[in-house]
Amino acid sequence: MKGWTGKLRAFALLGFVALVLSACGKENLTALDPKGYGADQSLYLIILTTIIMLFVLAVVMIVYTIVLIRYRKKKGQEDYIPKQVEGNRTLETVWTVIPIILLLIIAVPTVTATFDLADESAASDSLNIDVTGNQYWWHFNYDGQEVQTSQDLYIPVGERVYLNMMSSDVIHSFWVPTIAGKMDVNPENENTMYIEAHEEGVYWGKCAEFCGPSHSLMDFKVIAVSPEEFDQWLNDMQNADPEPEPENAVAQEGQSLFEENNCMSCHAIGSSSASIGPNLTNYGNRSTLAGVEDLNKENLVDWIMDPEALKPGNKMTGQYPEVSENEAGKIAEYLLQLDETDITPESAGNE
Ligand SMILES: [Cu+2]
């Protein structure tokens, strides 16, 4: 009886953990509710392989149970060893052929999808974006468009967008589960993939390769907007002023502090070349700070004063003299009014 209580407890605990974990995650950060071409393919393969594995499990468990009951040694039974079938050709053939058929059922669509998702034949006529993974943020350079962004990747809905990906430091992995599969981002060679969203919306992305102490904070977003809004966004970004006029006196002081503290040597505004840190063009329109916190003045001041507290191991820590809370507030004021376009994550819908 005691053993049973222990087993029941363990079972209840496992059930509880499963229940709690099933509630984890964010909307638009799931492979199980696909909103893009690559994610559709992944879910189809997940369902197919799960059905086949459940079928195998069911058959094995049924045979196991029948054998357990039927060949159980009965009381007083002497001759309890069942008839031996070693070398039975029919049985050997059956249990070799059935797994081959099952593997073929999995392999054919898997290989087809693999080639399909690697098809780059339309890349030269499409939108290409160079993606750079960095500890712990993402940089996006729109090929031939003179537009660069960080952390928020805007794409037109319903179009294949081709990504050419490299890392500036260690290996990262680009993963936006709701619209596409994963792709490693290496320092030595370029990997490519395409993404295509079916619906407008904001899709959360993650780095899926352990890359340092803040790996789990290396979040970004893909923002899919209508083709018209995308053209508008691109146009607004192309016309972004590299030296934007601050809106008020505090922002003006913030801009001076931004320059005095040498922030510009790492952070570009507009399409200038600095890319040691994230490009800050249109910064005020982002919805998150450093990929993980709500973007507001309070959080931004904390970040400027002590970036290490939020993202351990980031490259901003120690790169500039200490700033007071008052100074950080002014810099924050300046950054938050960098607003180049009406196309924002909120306008894309389900943020
Ligand atoms: Cu990473």
Ligand 1 centre to CA of 186 (Å) is 10
Same domain, 225 and 314: yes
The domain in which residue 339 lies consists of: 127-351
Q: Determine if the peptide bond prior to 136 is cis (ω within 30°).
A: yes
Ligand 1 centre to CA of 180 (Å) is 17
**How far is Cα 106 from Cα 100, in angstroms, rounded to an integer?**
10
Considering only 136-145, 259-268, 293-302, 324-333, which range has the smallest mean pLDDT?
Answer: 259-268
Ligand 1 centre to CA of 278 (Å) is 14
Q: How far is CA 142 from CA 10, 13, 139, 271, 281, in A?
A: 53, 49, 10, 10, 14
- Determine the average pLDDT of the residues in 112-132: 94
**How far is Cα 214 from Cα 108, in angstroms, rounded to an integer?**
39
- The answer to the question of residue 281 being in a domain is yes
- The answer to the question of residue 49 being in a domain is yes
Same domain, 103 and 178: no
* pLDDT reading at 329 higher than 60: yes
Ligand 1 centre to CA of 148 (Å) is 20
Same domain, 106 and 191: no
Q: What pLDDT, in 10s, does the model give residues 53-91?
A: 999 999 999 999 999 998 888 888 888 787 888 889 999
**How far is Cα 292 from Cα 312, in angstroms, rounded to an integer?**
13
| Listed residues 66, 98, 117: the one ending a domain | 117
In CATH, what number is assigned to the domain containing residue 107? Answer: 1.10.287
Q: What pLDDT, in 10s, does the model give residues 253-274?
A: 999 999 888 888 889 887 566 6
Q: Tell the burial category of 212 from Cβ atoms under 10 Å away from its Cβ (0-12, 13-18, 19+).
A: middle
- Determine the average pLDDT of the residues in 191-203: 95
Ligand 1 centre to CA of 49 (Å) is 29
Ligand 1 centre to CA of 81 (Å) is 58
- Determine the average pLDDT of the residues in 158-173: 96
Ligand 1 centre to CA of 191 (Å) is 15
Ligand 1 centre to CA of 219 (Å) is 9
Q: How far is CA 220 from CA 173, 215, 280, 288, 313, in A?
A: 12, 12, 14, 9, 18
Same domain, 113 and 131: no
Same domain, 104 and 144: no
- Determine the average pLDDT of the residues in 204-233: 95
The answer to whether 221 touches 345, Cβ cutoff 8 Å, is yes
- Give all strands of the β-sheet with 220-225 in edge-to-edge order: 152-156, 220-225, 201-207, 172-175, 182-185
Same domain, 184 and 70: no
Ligand 1 centre to CA of 272 (Å) is 24
Same domain, 93 and 168: no
Choose between 25 and 73: higher pLDDT.
73
Same domain, 142 and 183: yes
Q: What pLDDT, in 10s, does the model give residues 33-53?
A: 999 999 999 999 999 999 999
Residue 236 has which token pair? 């607004």
- Closest to 231 measured CA to CA, from 312, 84, 313, 127: 127
- The answer to the question of residue 15 being in a domain is no
For residue 204, give the 3-state DSSP assignment.
strand
> How many CB atoms neighbour CB 143 within 10 A?
13
Ligand 1 centre to CA of 133 (Å) is 7
- Determine the average pLDDT of the residues in 17-35: 80
* pLDDT of amino acid 274: 64
* pLDDT reading at 98 higher than 90: yes
Residue 224 has which token pair? 């899919």
Ligand 1 centre to CA of 170 (Å) is 8
Same domain, 156 and 98: no
* pLDDT reading at 173 higher than 90: yes
pLDDT band at 351 (very low <50, low <70, confident <90, very high): very low
- CA 270 centroid distance within chain: 26
- The answer to the question of residue 155 being in a domain is yes
Same domain, 312 and 242: yes
* pLDDT reading at 161 higher than 70: yes
- Determine the average pLDDT of the residues in 241-262: 87
Ligand 1 centre to CA of 205 (Å) is 11
- The answer to the question of residue 7 being in a domain is no
Same domain, 160 and 233: yes
Computed over every residue of the chain, the mean pLDDT equals 90
**How far is Cα 200 from Cα 348, in angstroms, rounded to an integer?**
6
In CATH, what number is assigned to the domain containing residue 245? Answer: 2.60.40.420
* pLDDT reading at 108 higher than 60: yes
Ion ligand 1: residues, CB within 5 A, are 172, 207, 211, 218
Q: What pLDDT, in 10s, does the model give residues 286-308?
A: 879 988 899 999 999 999 999 99
- Determine the average pLDDT of the residues in 27-36: 90
* pLDDT of amino acid 1: 52
- The answer to the question of residue 310 being in a domain is yes
Structurally, the chain folds into a number of domains equal to 2
- The answer to the question of residue 295 being in a domain is yes
- The answer to the question of residue 21 being in a domain is no
Same domain, 99 and 155: no
* pLDDT of amino acid 271: 58
The answer to whether 214 touches 180, Cβ cutoff 8 Å, is no
